[in-house]
Amino acid sequence: MDRYVAFLRGMNLGNRRIKNPELTAEFEDLGLLEVATFRASGNVIFGVEKKEARAKLTARVEAGLREGLGYDVPVYVRSVDEVAVIAAHEPFPAKALAASKGKLQVTMLPKKPTAAARKKVLALGSDEDRLAIEGSELYWLPSGGTIDSDLDLKTIARVLGPGTQRTMGTIEQIAAKYCG
């Protein structure tokens, strides 16, 4: 059985309220196995019995959630091995992490950015808002709170496509619990 983590965008914000048992049931209704949720922010761990292309699996989950919940939910699927690699990645020097009052953020992107897109986005970074891209993830180390940042998130989303963001701490906790 192959295991994955689905990171859902925009869950439990505004009118999009769903409890973890309901979310688990939605995934089980899709025939997914050993479904577990982590926190109430749209992190779902699950297994598939038969090998399935990621794009097809993602489309199947998005369609099932649209049908079951009545609204679109962007889904970013990563294998448990990929989540473990993301959790172990150190995009910035330890000294920069220690000096920051902000939390390291990880944005799961819909696909690996092109070289031109990477260059354009990384140019938006600064000493106050450090940026790095590895694979299909954008790493952001704000010097303080994300709300207080002047980073142009709209331009980043326009260049890289919409993503969903988690703290590195959340990614590390998911990896420790489900990706060992």
Domain boundaries, the chain: 2-80, 84-178
Q: Which of 70, 126, 68, 130 is nearest to 98 (CA)?
A: 130
C-alpha pair distances (Å), 52 with each of 40, 67, 68, 147: 27, 21, 21, 38
Q: Mean pLDDT, to the nearest integer, of 54-65?
A: 97
- The structure tokens listed for 49 are 């019995």
DSSP string, 63-119: HHHHHHHSS---EEEEEHHHHHHHHH---S-HHHHHH-SSPPEEEE-SSPPPHHHHH
Q: Give the separation between CA 77 and CA 171, rounded to whole angstroms.
A: 13
**Count of other CB atoms within 10 angstroms of residue 83:** 23
Its CATH architecture, for the domain 84-178, is: 2-Layer Sandwich (3.30)
Q: Mean pLDDT, to the nearest integer, of 148-172?
A: 96
pLDDT of residue 17: 84
pLDDT of residue 12: 79
Element holding 44 (H helix, E strand): strand 43-48
- The structure tokens listed for 157 are 């989303």
Q: Mean pLDDT, to the nearest integer, of 112-139?
A: 97
CATH of domain 2-80: 3.30.70.1280
Q: Whole-prediction pTM value?
A: 0.95
pLDDT of residue 34: 97
Query: Are the folds of 2-80 and 84-178 the same?
Result: yes
Task: Answer positive or negative: Cα dihedral of 26, 28, 32, 37.
Answer: positive
Residue 3 pLDDT more than 90?
yes
